[in-house]
Amino acid sequence: MHLIQKQLIDLIATNPNFGKLSLRSIAKEVGAEGKPQTAKYHLQELEKAGFIQMNLKEGIIKLVKKGTNISSKSPIFSIPVVGSANCGLPTIFAEQNIENFLKVSSSMLPKKKSGLFALIADGDSMNMCNINGKSIESGDFVLVDSEDRVYKDKDIVVAVVDGLATIKELHRDLKNNRIVLKALSTKKYLPIYLGEDDDFIINGKVVGIIKS
């Protein structure tokens, strides 16, 4: 992403009245004083990529929230892609910076669309799981509900272990006071055992797969 576009996203996020500014004022804010068309160009690029909603005539410039319509009349939803998650050993960092937006028809999404984000699966340790009849294969877009914090045994979750992301089936081992993350694969993978003193969080529940 261009540096000016990153600056624009930061400014939009912190200024609720950003859309009321003139293009000349916006250009000055991003170090392009006297170049309003430069500001307009980069705003249009952010809009094309699905990062913002914009209506300059009405003074509206705002960030697209997780799992929201691109426009009020559109059946297409814009889902933020926040990086990759390993489906083998947890060896890829779970970046929380939005890399892009996945534009998906509402008919392909769960009924609850708020709080959704997407990860790109990397690995084959979940190629035997079943999410609405689909398995997770390397390169697939994995839809995650970040707001669902009620986890049951055998839920497919995104876990961040020591700062690294992985997608696994969750099990609670109450006898030993630990969580076990299991692979569901045609290959053999050892479980990941997590105790209360370990550095991990569950980032959300997998609710859908968009095949690559």
Question: Which residues are identified as catalytic?
Answer: 125, 168
* Interhelix angle 36-48/3-14, nearest 10 degrees: 80
Distance CA 40, CA 13 (A): 17
Give yes or no for a contact between 100 and 146, defined as CB atoms under 8 angstroms apart: no
Element containing residue 201 per DSSP (H, E): strand 200-210
Sign of CA dihedral 32, 37, 43, 45: negative
Cα separation, 61 vs 33, whole angstroms: 20
| The length of the chain, given as a count of residues | 212
Terminal-residue alpha carbon distance, the chain: 23
**In 3D, which of 52, 67, 59 has the Cα closest to residue 13?**
52
**Can you tell me the distance from the alpha carbon of 129 to that of 169, in angstroms, rounded to the nearest whole number?**
8
